[in-house]
Amino acid sequence: MNTVKLAPLLLIFAEVARQRSFTGAAKKLELSKSAISQQIKRLESELNMQLLARNTRGIALTQAGETLLARSELLSEQLASAINDIQQVRAQPSGVFKISVPPFFERDIIVPAIRQLCLEFPRIEPELVVTGRWQDLIEHQLDAAIFGGLLKDSNYKAQSIGKVSDMFCATPNYLLRHGHPDSVADLQQHKYIASRWQKGDLTLIDKQQGIEHTLSLSHFAHTNNLPTLVEMTLADMGIALLPEFIAKQEIRRGQLVHVLPNHHGRPWHFYFLHRYQDQKPAYVERFYVLVTHYFKLVMSGN
């Protein structure tokens, strides 16, 4: 006997038994009277016993029907309770919200966004994984991830947070000792610190002329890690190309100076990744909105 198929029949039977009326049950369940009657007959056929008896006053329960009603009402209450619990979870989500974020997004973007999210959804437990590497959402059990650069092929949904360009920056102390470069060509006379993706030929955009050109720039030091690149630059070691959202934070703090402001690297994207195929939970959508808001604030310099 397939009990899964019997479940809706039991719920219909319970309503008919409570109403003592096919008509009343049909109205309550928004079904036709004939449909209700057919389902009761099907249930009696599956159980091979009579559950209801018609009389001049309407419907009466057989002894088997009385026993089944007690069980069916419990099933109905449990189902109603389960649905109510789900609705409550949707209204007040709780539990771990695990997110992967790139380095330097934490201070002025992610932490303010998480702080506000926790005020609005106090039962959320944020867990941040800070990494510059691609993190597969399922493999690393992530609810969402923020990733910069070219996306890998996947079935995940990607929403744009915004574009970023790289800026030439150096500390005031370095420029005091070595002077300000007045042109891109002058960079050849300076100590250039490269990341692993900035070695060799660089594609730069001239903002005044709106054209791209390639610069072959030798480096005196390089690193495969963005935080290390920032630390080397802050240590007065040379000039580096840093992402805008990092550079602007340090420029506002007086730690770095924007060098050659009319030139920047080719823009690249930051994306908000999630694995929800349909509508995202409210707190996930709100987190995306907050991250985008604080990202724009950082990029605008406010």
Distances (CA, A) of 95 to 116, 129, 136, 143, 263: 17, 16, 21, 11, 46
- Residues 103 and 146 grouped into a single domain: yes
CATH number at residue 85: 1.10.10.10
> Is 80 exceeded by the pLDDT of residue 262?
yes
The domain boundary residue, chosen from 91, 118, 140: 91
Distance CA 6, CA 196 (A): 63
- Residues 33 and 182 grouped into a single domain: no
CATH number at residue 186: 3.40.190.290
Report, as an integer, the average pLDDT of 8-20.
Answer: 85
Number of domains in the chain: 3
The domain boundary residue, chosen from 43, 72, 91: 91
Confidence (pLDDT) at 277? 76
The domain boundary residue, chosen from 56, 91, 126: 91
Domain carrying residue 240: 166-265
- Residues 150 and 296 grouped into a single domain: yes
Phi and psi, residue 101, nearest 5°:
-135, 150
Lowest mean pLDDT among 61-65, 200-204, 295-299: 200-204
- Residues 150 and 203 grouped into a single domain: no
Average pLDDT value for the chain: 86
- Residues 102 and 179 grouped into a single domain: no
| Predicted TM-score of the model (pTM) | 0.63
CATH number at residue 143: 3.40.190.10
- Residues 174 and 207 grouped into a single domain: yes
> Is 70 exceeded by the pLDDT of residue 56?
no
- Residues 157 and 274 grouped into a single domain: yes
- Residues 54 and 22 grouped into a single domain: yes
Confidence (pLDDT) at 6? 81
CB 96 within 8 A of CB 127: yes
- Residues 119 and 259 grouped into a single domain: no
- Residues 157 and 234 grouped into a single domain: no
Give the three-state DSSP class for 166: strand
pLDDT in tens, 264-302: 888 888 999 998 877 788 899 999 999 999 998 888 765
pLDDT in tens, 222-258: 898 888 999 999 999 999 999 888 898 899 889 999 9
- Residues 173 and 254 grouped into a single domain: yes
pLDDT in tens, 122-181: 999 999 999 888 888 989 999 999 988 777 767 788 899 999 889 999 999 999 999 999
> Is 90 exceeded by the pLDDT of residue 83?
no
List Cβ neighbours of 276 (8 Å cut-off, separation of 6 or more).
Answer: 157, 284
CB 301 within 8 A of CB 252: yes
> Is 90 exceeded by the pLDDT of residue 115?
yes
- Residues 179 and 248 grouped into a single domain: yes
Confidence (pLDDT) at 86? 65
